[in-house]
Structure 1
Amino acid sequence: MQRISSLAACRELAGLAACAAGRGAWNSGPSCCKHPALHRHRAGVSARPFATEPGRRLCRRRFVFAGDKQRPFSSQSGEDGPPGSSGRQPPVSVVGTPDPLTWIRCKCIMCLVQLYFELDMNSEEFEKGVKQALVYVSSKMSIGRYHELVGIVSNEMVEYVETKCKPMTRAQRKQLAVNMEDILFVHPEDISVVFDQYGRKFCSVAMRFWLLSSHEGPDDPEATKIFRVTADEDAGPKKKLATAVYEFHSELTRGVSPDWRVTIVWHWHWTLVQ
């Protein structure tokens, strides 16, 4: 079974070698949970098996991210992020494969979510939405405009982000900004669906982003297990490998607007200033 899942995961990474900036990969497990701020208990919410009411068929849900009316967080927008480009990207090669057990777990849960809630987290719409959320949130962090994250990021996490960014220098904060073309790959790292005592349904999806960054310091060791950046004299300063983990949370209860809100923000850059 592990061999089969490893081969299946490799097919997801197959396009990487053919791309100049690379595409594909993920990490060997939910390492974001090592950070204390990423362990939060949702009061009054307990896990229960998937279930739907007899005779009820839920309509297909489209993805709407919090603040979508004011900001381009959906695939309907023609812009992929803030203006500006990080320039020509260096060649990136794939040197590793994902953990097969974690890959199987996430794929199974995604299939169940699509079956019972008609929520396709494998869709291009969802992937583009989370990428644009990363670009927007990281750009606001890089210039210290934390108040503009309210409504998109949970209040608890807005305070946490500001606390983590304060010790950073202006140059270090600037390096937090992520351009769309710097994103190598994104993949769900952990997925959960819970029901509270009132019958409301909630879904949380932790997404790991693999990035190219101009930060000072070493590459993220988790990223180097999967990718390798080839030095390119024409591309300017060597890009470093980094990761970011964002958790998106939404209520799936029938009749409730399915807005996705960011409830976890974590960047590899923060570990360099601790």
Structure 2
Amino acid sequence: MVPVLFRCFSRLPSSGVLARFALARNLVLGHRCCLVRTGNLRAERSYSSDRNRNQQKVVVVGIPNPFIWFRTRIYYFLIRTYFDKEFSIEEFMEGAKQAFSHVSNLLSRCRFEDLDGLVAKDLIGKLEEKCSALPSDHQEALSAEPDQIMYSTPGDVGIFYDDDGRKFVSILMRFWYLTSARLPDDSVEGTRLFKVAIGDGEPETKRLLTAIYEFQREFTKGVPPDWTITRIEHSKLLD
């Protein structure tokens, strides 16, 4: 079950936005890479062994830009100071990871009615149109199980005000996850294949994919502390 942290709130009106303080997406999402370059992360194979078995796993390490890291901390400080003194980016990221896994699973199974209260209403219709047109293997690749999420990081942070003085915060999250869906080698750009063996089993081929989910919440006094997903992208599957 997705935690109550990620339920629906009234969407920000498209007109009347007085101010938005946001980090540039093309900079915030930049991570330095050292080994296998896959988008904005470093991926490598590591091996460990004991008396009974050898085990292979994929290790994903992100190296953020120090300047961007510092700027995002300023935004978190502003959120705690002016919006919610109990806000924790660590707790938010954990809830976002659970929400991402749950919502991606619903998308994979085309259960669009169950997205109500989790995803913005105007976005659900667009997702239904896109997902329904995908081949079955691409639909399967949308699903990210919790233990298949290799790495996640917050990106763009925005603060919004409307004409009525209502306050909103948006946080963009990027996720890297493995899938065993059988995708043509040229169907999804920017992905890499990995051979992953668990225990003594045969190595399984998995593809590393990325997804972007944006969460928004209204911080106006008296409004329930609920987040909703207002943007969803899955590599070249859902753009």
Contact map agreement 1:194 1:201 (CA 8 A) in 2:
yes
- Whole-angstrom CA distance in 2 between matches of 1:97 and 1:260: 28
Provide the aligned C-alpha RMSD in A: 2.8
**Gaps in structure 2 of 5+ consecutive residues:** 1-11, 22-54
Identity %: 34
Distance 1:231 1:149, change over 3 A: closer
Partner secondary structure for residue 138 of structure 1: helix
- Whole-angstrom CA distance in 1 between matches of 2:13 and 2:180: 35
Deviation at residue 242 of structure 1 after TM alignment? 1.0
Q: Which residue of 1 aligns with 2:117?
A: 151
Residue 251, structure 1, aligned to residue 218, structure 2? yes
Residue 200, structure 1, aligned to residue 172, structure 2? no
Q: Which residue of 2 aligns with 1:176?
A: 142
Partner secondary structure for residue 178 of structure 1: coil
Residue 43, structure 1, aligned to residue 15, structure 2? yes
Deviation at residue 256 of structure 1 after TM alignment? 0.9
Distance 1:270 1:94, change over 3 A: closer
TM-score (norm 2): 0.69
Deviation at residue 128 of structure 1 after TM alignment? 2.4
Deviation at residue 120 of structure 1 after TM alignment? 2.3
Match among 160, 164, 168 for residue 130 of structure 2:
164
- Whole-angstrom CA distance in 1 between matches of 2:71 and 2:136: 40
Partner secondary structure for residue 239 of structure 1: strand
Q: Which residue of 2 aligns with 1:266?
A: 233
Distance 1:249 1:173, change over 3 A: same
Match among 202, 205, 209 for residue 238 of structure 1:
205
Contact map agreement 2:61 2:151 (CA 8 A) in 1:
no
Q: Larger helix proportion, structure 1 or 2?
A: 1
Match among 72, 95, 112 for residue 129 of structure 1:
95
Contact map agreement 2:195 2:204 (CA 8 A) in 1:
no
Number of aligned residues: 189
Deviation at residue 97 of structure 1 after TM alignment? 2.1
Q: Which residue of 2 aligns with 1:99?
A: 65
Residues 208-227 of structure 1: CA deviation (Å, up to 9, x unaligned): 11111223245763x77xxx
Deviation at residue 253 of structure 1 after TM alignment? 0.7
Distance 1:236 1:264, change over 3 A: same
TM-score (norm 1): 0.60
Residues 143-192 of structure 1: CA deviation (Å, up to 9, x unaligned): 11112112211111111211221221123212211111111222211111
**Gaps in structure 1 of 5+ consecutive residues:** 1-39, 50-88
Q: Larger strand proportion, structure 1 or 2?
A: 2
- Whole-angstrom CA distance in 1 between matches of 2:180 and 2:132: 20
Q: Which amino acid aligns with 2:204?
A: P
Partner secondary structure for residue 45 of structure 1: coil
Partner secondary structure for residue 64 of structure 2: coil
For 1:79-118, list aligned pairs within 5 A: 90-94=56-60, 97-117=63-83, 118=85
Q: Which amino acid aligns with 1:208?
A: R
- Whole-angstrom CA distance in 2 between matches of 1:103 and 1:180: 25
